Amino acid sequence: MSATNVILLVVVIVIVAVAASLVIALMMRKTTLRKQAGPEYDRLVREMGPRRAKSEFAQRQHRVDGLEIKPLSAERRAGYEAQWTTAQERFIDSPLEAVRTAAVLITSVAADRGYPVDNETQLLTDLSVYHGRPLDDYRRARRIAEQAEVAATEQLRQALLDQRAMFQDLVGPADDDTDNPQTPKNLAIAGPEQ
């Protein structure tokens, strides 16, 4: 094999390696966005297309990163969890009140963490950045809560479950919790027998 052929072969191998690494990097970036935002990123892709969704999500992330979002202290977390337990226990006697209390509690946690809560649409957009996994279900829960007077008990139970997923994601894991904070645990809620 001549020196020219060897050089050409090396150049081709380098070009293929660079192209492969670029493709892998793009795939990993896309996977990271999907992992971070969950179904919210897929929703944006369906609505806007992949390029605009990526740009929109980057703008959201830039905004939220500028908000100085902070984790809850252990004391605040414990306080919110106690309030959540009380709201959940209230479900048996008053499903409507439990769902409404849970909605207020989630807004309080978001505000305490540093999210602006004066505009509901903007709050949902902001939550999509780091709490995108439970966001679709949380949106559904908000719609049910808005029509709670006419909702069936099962719908209210499902709304409370969806709210709980967002609540757990927002309060974050306990210091000794090594499980994935995105995965709500023990979501069974007792309700009146039908």
- The verdict on 59 and 120 lying in the same domain is no
- The verdict on 24 and 90 lying in the same domain is no
Residue 7 in domain? yes
Residue 79 in domain? yes
Give per-residue pLDDT as tens, 14-72.
998 888 878 776 666 655 555 666 777 788 888 888 889 888 888 999 999 999 899 99
Residue where a domain stops, chosen among 31, 65, 99:
65
**Contacts made by residues 35-38, CB under 8 angstroms, sequence distance 24+:** 36/129, 36/130, 36/132, 37/128, 37/129, 37/132, 37/133, 38/132, 38/133, 38/134, 38/135, 38/182
What rounded mean pLDDT belongs to the chain? 83
Over residues 129-147, the mean pLDDT reads: 89
Is pLDDT of 164 > 50? yes
- The verdict on 103 and 155 lying in the same domain is yes
Would you state the pLDDT for residue 168? 95
Using CA atoms, how far residue 186 sits from 29, 164, 189, in Å, is 32, 10, 9
Residue where a domain stops, chosen among 65, 84, 101:
65
Residue 188 in domain? no
Residue 185 in domain? no
Other C-beta atoms lying within 10 Å of the C-beta of residue 59? 12
Over residues 65-84, the mean pLDDT reads: 94
Percent share of the chain, pLDDT over 90:
47
Is pLDDT of 191 > 50? no
Over residues 155-165, the mean pLDDT reads: 94
Domain that includes residue 37, residue range: 3-65
Across 2-6, 33-37, 46-50, 81-85, the highest mean pLDDT is recorded for 81-85
Residue 102 in domain? yes
113 or 34, which is more confident: 113
Phi and psi angles of residue 129, each rounded to the nearest 5 degrees, phi first: -70, -50
Over residues 122-135, the mean pLDDT reads: 91
Number of domains in the chain: 2
Residue 178 in domain? no
169 or 34, which is more confident: 169
Asked which of 83-92, 149-158, 167-176 is least confident by mean pLDDT, the reply is 167-176
Give per-residue pLDDT as tens, 86-100.
999 999 999 999 999
- The verdict on 57 and 28 lying in the same domain is yes
Residue 60 in domain? yes
- The verdict on 86 and 165 lying in the same domain is yes
Would you state the pLDDT for residue 127? 93
Would you state the pLDDT for residue 41? 78
Residue 137 in domain? yes
Would you state the pLDDT for residue 75? 95
